[in-house]
Amino acid sequence: MTRMTRLHVSRRLAPVAASALLIAATPGRAQDSSGQTATEKTWGAATGATGTPEPNPDCAPPGSWKSYSLAAGAKLGMLNPIGLGAMLSLPGEGKVRWQIDVVWEPSNYLQSYSIGGSYHLWDKVFFAGARLRLMQLHAPWSRGFRARTDNQLALGPEIGVRLSLGAAPRVLPFASLGIIFFPSETLSLPPMISLDIGAAVDLVRGRLP
Amino acid sequence: MAQTRPRPSLWPSLPFVGAVVALTLSAVSGCRADPDYPKQPPFDFDSMATPVPADFSSEGELAARYLADILPLYEMGEAGAFPGVEGVSIAYRAFRVPQERGAVVLLPGRAEAMLKYAEIIADIVDEGYSVFAMSHRGQGESGRMTEDPQLGYVEYFQDYVDDLDHFVNAVVRRSEHPRLFLLAHSMGGAVALLYLDEHPEVWSAVALSAPMLELDTGAFPEAAALSIASGVCSRGSGKSFAAGQTGFNANLAFDDADNTVTHSRARFDLKMATLREHPELALGGVSYRWLCEALQATSLVQTLGKYSNVPTLLFQAGSDKLVRPGGQNRYCNEAARCQKVVYGDSYHEVLMERDAIRNDALTKAIKFYRAWGG
């Protein structure tokens, strides 16, 4: 009688837990005695406003999650030499800033298709997040590609900095450091380290209906 | 009056939703039917009824016997070559024994030539087994794939396995054999276990000397080595020496600190003399591409034990400086019929060690083959 391979739950959960802890460790929403969050002050100052921030796509009125921007970018990396991607920024409420991106990192050896989520810490340029990847250990068009072992799901935490420069179109240069874990039963690869720099440019900005 | 701010509840949970999705997907990917072979009790070598003559080659008489008996026997072997993957010439030698007990396929380690195994081949042939030795691509007597003949390179690790498959089908099984056995060292052990996973029905029993199931990356943590090497491989062909690797050092002496492969001066000196006499057989350090492929392959092989039910004897070198024991332990613990023998004082090359280690390992391998029909 055969049975499916058992999960080693603790081993698989380790990288996930690390990512989750990193996210969970981010400071909560904090307001000072004026009732403003740090971001409201910072962004308010950036837009020349005092007190109540003026509405704009980057800094929506408090209580709103409706503004967004969509950027496209490219990066250079230590592990994968190049990457192309798109990034959705959700800066609403003047406090929480989530960014979600999809990235394709092609090469003649390793390939990665990934989706990442990041959270800007302390309303600053620093972010922490996690990335889920479909890694291909050999390029699918190469002679050495074998789907059963070369297609591997991977995930891990990521930290970095992402700036926002200029007015429309904004340029978002970034640098990030990540760890890639392979929670696989079919492979016992050690974690990989990714180190990237790149930039994205806002293509679409607006508000959700 | 306090203003109520609507807060979306979905976004903060995104990472956790992602983690759950990742867990689910990773559980689904790579699932393979678990054959659930029960672990078998180890073979008791002392209870072996069939005696094995203890007249294997010895260090003391190696120099004299090598020229008188061993080398002539080696040169009498049927030498040949076949086009391997991508047309690379793969050299082999066949030593056919009439009324054989079985045939032993011999796979050397990285950088090794078949000629280095002449002493082993002579001992196995004396025991009544035919021997089929193969030189891996890019080393020894086989063809090279780079301009620098001393660069340890392979495009895909699977090419070693596919070459072995061709060798077994086109050369070894061209004639009938009562049983087929494997004897593989180091990288040859990784190749053997990958092939065994694909074709377990071929082998009656397998003996592995310090199989390369987890590389010792030295001062580099394995994660750093893999990341750096993978980065180089993703940028190009990886056809350059990896950091810290160089060409073959023909002046290496037994007492040098860089000799981390054997405690046997006689066998070390014989190897170096052979390579100085046949410099075309020598191979230097590894390329980035070889490192990328080997790190991936070894991380795969060490997980394959649970799928194996083939009798496997694994010699572990307790003082190994080239491969780590973790991968061997994992494979052997999970394989139903794997049995590990640890030589605490042995460097990496168990079969080229001092007589006490080398001949004990060879005796055990022969007994193991006999226990499984050879």
**What six digits make up the tokens of B76?**
């009498």
What is the predicted ipTM? 0.84
**What six digits make up the tokens of B59?**
């260090």
pLDDT band at B237 (very low <50, low <70, confident <90, very high): confident
Interface touch A80/B330, C-beta < 8 Å: no
**Residue B224 pLDDT greater than 70, yes or no:** yes
What is the spatial distance between Cα B70 and Cα B330, in angstroms, rounded to a whole number?
37
- B185-208 per-position pLDDT tens digit: 999 999 999 999 999 999 999 999
Q: How far is B229 from chain A (nearest CA, A)?
A: 9
| Cβ-based contacts of A194 with chain B (< 8 Å) | 227
| Cβ-based contacts of B330 with chain A (< 8 Å) | 188
- What pLDDT sits at residue B12? 52
Interface touch B6/A63, C-beta < 8 Å: yes
What letter represents residue A187's amino acid?
L
Instruction: Please name which of B102, B109, B108 lies closest in space to residue B124, comparing C-alpha atoms.
Output: B102
What is the spatial distance between Cα A190 and Cα B100, in angstroms, rounded to a whole number?
44
Domain B18-371 fold:
Rossmann fold (3.40.50)
Strands B312-317, A82-90: pairing is unpaired
Peptide bond into A169 cis (omega under 30): yes
Alpha-helix runs per DSSP H in B32-156: 62-65, 71-76, 118-126
pTM score of the predicted model:
0.84
**Contact with chain B for residue A137, Cβ under 8 A:** yes
What is the spatial distance between Cα B188 and Cα B209, in angstroms, rounded to a whole number?
9
- A5-64 per-position pLDDT tens digit: 443 434 444 444 444 444 444 333 333 333 333 333 333 333 333 444 444 444 444 444
| Average confidence score pLDDT of chain B | 91
B343 DSSP β-pair partners? B317
**Contact with chain B for residue A91, Cβ under 8 A:** no
Alpha-helix runs per DSSP H in B104-255: 118-126, 157-170, 187-198, 222-235
Residue of B nearest to A107 (CA): B234
Residue A17's alpha-carbon distances to A70, A187, A191, B15, in angstroms, are 29, 20, 15, 10
User: Which of A26, A193, A194, A208 is most worth mutating to test chain B (most B CB atoms within 10 A of its CB)?
Assistant: A193
**Contact with chain B for residue A60, Cβ under 8 A:** no
Whether A42 contacts A73, CB under 8 Å: no
pLDDT band at B21 (very low <50, low <70, confident <90, very high): low
Percent of chain B residues past pLDDT 90, beyond the cut: 79
- List the domain boundaries for chain B: 18-371
Residue of A nearest to B157 (CA): A144
- Out of B36, B158, B226, the one facing A190 most closely (by C-beta) is B226
**Contact with chain B for residue A12, Cβ under 8 A:** yes
Q: Which of A40-54, A150-164, B103-117, B349-363 has the lowest mean pLDDT?
A: A40-54
Backbone angles phi, psi at B166, to 5 degrees: -65, -40
